[in-house]
């Protein structure tokens, strides 16, 4: 599904963000990518989303070289990828329902489909009773669950969760991880970037460890080895 072929990324100031990364992720996998700040995790995500291009090597999604996708076709790729951010990135003047519905509206979905699917995904993340609340009326854990609902409502092939528990307490962290596992159990590929050793070891899934732009470990079952 995803393939990084000897990918390097460097910048004009001499910074080397990635150095000879080769990596494959199969459909339906749950993969945690770990490493200290500056290890290359964020660059990896940006290349996968087509927000940046590799200096050398190639990044492929379903056998398509992302660098060769035309700008007009890039939104189609990004509709197949749901992204969950550490800082939630919700629209403050829209309710939980409206934040999720907006993602469907942007994708051109019909009103009938929105009315059917939004309550369903909010139920999946246990927010049925909070669907008409605004972000300011929700806790940190609830905000992240809205963000997850928004990411999955268009049924993407891949979910990228970029430090989704970084601002959460242990109880909310556990709940978010359980939701991500549930999404993966339904067949969606999940890539999780995290600093949280407890999260990685609780998952017991594949762990890729990065350091200074290189992959230094790739374990099939959860080990945080930094």
pLDDT in tens, 200-224: 988 999 999 999 999 999 999 877 7
Q: Which residues contact 216 (CB under 8 A, 6 or more apart)?
A: 209, 210
DSSP 135-167: GGGS-HHHHHHHHHHHHHTT--SEEEEESTTTT
The three-state secondary structure class of 130 is helix
pLDDT band at 226 (very low <50, low <70, confident <90, very high): low
Average confidence (pLDDT) over 64-89: 92
Query: How large is the average pLDDT for residues 57-79?
Result: 93
Average pLDDT of the chain, as a whole number: 94
Residue 198's pLDDT is 86
Q: What is the pLDDT of residues 6-56, one digit of tens each?
A: 999 999 999 999 999 999 999 999 999 999 888 999 999 999 999 999 999
Q: First-to-last CA distance in the chain? A: 27
Give the domains, in start order, of the chain with CATH numbers: 26-39+78-219 (3.40.50.300)
- Give the residue-averaged pLDDT of 65-69: 95
Q: What is the mean pLDDT of residues 96-121?
A: 97
For 93-106, what is the mean pLDDT? 97
Q: What is the DSSP string of 62-86?
A: TTEEGGGS-GGGHHHHHHTEEEEET
- Res 217: pLDDT: 95
Kindly indicate the confidence band of residue 89, based on its pLDDT and cuts at 50, 70 and 90.
very high
């Amino acid at each position: 599904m995803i393939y990084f072929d000897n990918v390097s990324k460097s910048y004009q100031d001499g910074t080397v963000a990635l150095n000879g990364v080769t990596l494959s992720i199969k459909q339906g996998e749950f993969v945690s990518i770990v490493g200290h700040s500056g290890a290359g995790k964020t660059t990896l995500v940006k290349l996968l989303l087509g927000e940046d291009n590799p200096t050398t090597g190639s990044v492929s999604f379903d056998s398509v070289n992302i660098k060769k996708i035309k700008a007009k076709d890039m939104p189609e790729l990004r509709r197949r990828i749901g992204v969950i951010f550490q800082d939630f990135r919700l629209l403050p003047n829209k309710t939980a329902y409206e934040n999720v519905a907006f993602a469907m509206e942007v994708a051109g979905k019909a009103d009938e489909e929105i009315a059917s699917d939004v309550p369903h995904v909010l139920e999946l993340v246990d927010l049925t009773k909070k669907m008409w609340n605004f972000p300011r009326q929700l806790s940190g854990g609830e905000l992240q669950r809205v963000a997850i609902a928004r990411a999955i409502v268009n049924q993407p092939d891949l979910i990228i969760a970029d430090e989704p528990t970084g601002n959460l307490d242990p109880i909310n962290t556990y709940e978010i991880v359980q939701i991500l596992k549930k999404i993966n159990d339904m067949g969606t590929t999940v890539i999780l970037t995290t600093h949280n050793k407890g999260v990685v070891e609780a998952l017991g899934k594949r762990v890729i460890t990065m350091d200074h732009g290189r992959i230094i470990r790739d374990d099939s079952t959860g080990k945080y080895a930094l």
